[in-house]
């Protein structure tokens, strides 16, 4: 009787042990362990990778948790263009998705158009002096339109860059930059940068003169 009992226990132990081993070797368990071992790179690591690909200043950063391909998205200002870069959160692979030239100063271009319109609408000259003035103005407009590319570069230097505007705004605002826009300031007859920062539930709106770098206005708002 004792021998039968011992044999029965031995067989049960062997069967249970085999079942446990089989369970631990199932494909589902291995896939689960492999999934848990997947490690994504940090945002700082992704930034370093992006800046190695495109030398410049990051003015906007975001993370897209796409199930198939989670990745980081960065907007980088480099020289006179803005470059959109994606960094794969798992492999660190870099992809440039867009390049866009920074909008040049349009103040002088607007003045040229107004001068052309004024010339076209001017009444017929009644004297030789008036005729000479019209011809001189037309020649001036043509010379401006045919100016070499170096003139365009000079116009761009008159407006501070987005990176400079961000640095100035950071002296009065905290958090992450979510908006940087160059716009016309009708009140001051000039151009201005409009920047938006978010620090938790606090939002900062900053306006900066695009030529002098002077802070025009700062608004701080607490979001609900």
Span 47-56, pLDDT tens digits:
999 999 999 9
Pairing, β 202-209 against β 57-64:
unpaired
Please list the pLDDT of the chain residue by residue as tens digits (224 residues). 555 545 555 555 554 555 444 454 444 444 444 444 578 999 999 999 999 999 999 999 999 988 788 999 999 998 889 999 999 999 999 999 998 888 655 445 545 665 666 656 655 545 566 666 655 666 666 655 555 544 444 445 589 999 999 999 999 999 999 999 998 877 767 899 999 999 989 999 999 999 999 999 999 998 87
What per-residue confidence (pLDDT) applies to 154? 42
Determine the straight-line distance between the first and last CA of the chain, rounded to whole angstroms. 78
Global model pTM greater than 0.75 = no
Place of tokens 């446990």: 20
CA distances to 85, 105, 172 from 167, in Å? 22, 20, 10
DSSP 55: -
Which residues contact residue 84 at a Cβ distance below 8 angstroms, ignoring those fewer than 6 apart? Answer: 73, 74, 75, 76, 96, 97, 98, 99
Q: Give the model's pLDDT for residue 157.
A: 57
pLDDT of residue 76: 94
What pLDDT shows up at residue 141? Answer: 60
What pLDDT score was predicted for residue 158? Answer: 85
The gap from C-alpha 168 to its chain's centroid, in whole angstroms, comes to 18
């Amino acid at each position: 009787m004792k021998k039968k009992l011992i044999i029965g226990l031995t067989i049960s132990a062997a069967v249970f042990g085999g079942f446990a081993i089989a369970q631990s070797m199932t494909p589902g368990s291995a896939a689960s362990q492999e999934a848990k071992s997947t490690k994504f790179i940090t945002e700082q690591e992704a930034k370093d990778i992006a800046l190695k690909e495109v030398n410049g200043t990051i003015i906007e950063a975001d993370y897209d948790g796409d199930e198939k391909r989670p990745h980081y998205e960065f907007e980088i200002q480099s020289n006179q263009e803005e470059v959109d870069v994606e960094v794969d959160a798992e492999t660190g692979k870099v992809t440039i998705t867009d390049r866009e030239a920074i909008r040049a100063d349009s103040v002088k271009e607007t003045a040229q158009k107004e001068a052309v319109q004024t010339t076209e609408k001017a009444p017929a000259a009644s004297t030789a002096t008036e005729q000479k003035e019209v011809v001189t103005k037309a020649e001036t407009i043509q010379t401006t339109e045919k100016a070499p590319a170096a003139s365009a570069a000079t116009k761009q230097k008159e407006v501070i860059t987005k990176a400079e505007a961000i640095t100035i705004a950071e002296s009065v605002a905290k958090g992450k930059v979510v908006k940087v826009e160059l716009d016309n300031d009708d009140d001051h007859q000039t151009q201005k940068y409009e920047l938006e920062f978010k620090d938790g539930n606090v939002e900062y709106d900053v306006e900066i003169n695009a030529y002098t770098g002077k802070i025009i206005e700062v608004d701080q708002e607490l979001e609900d």
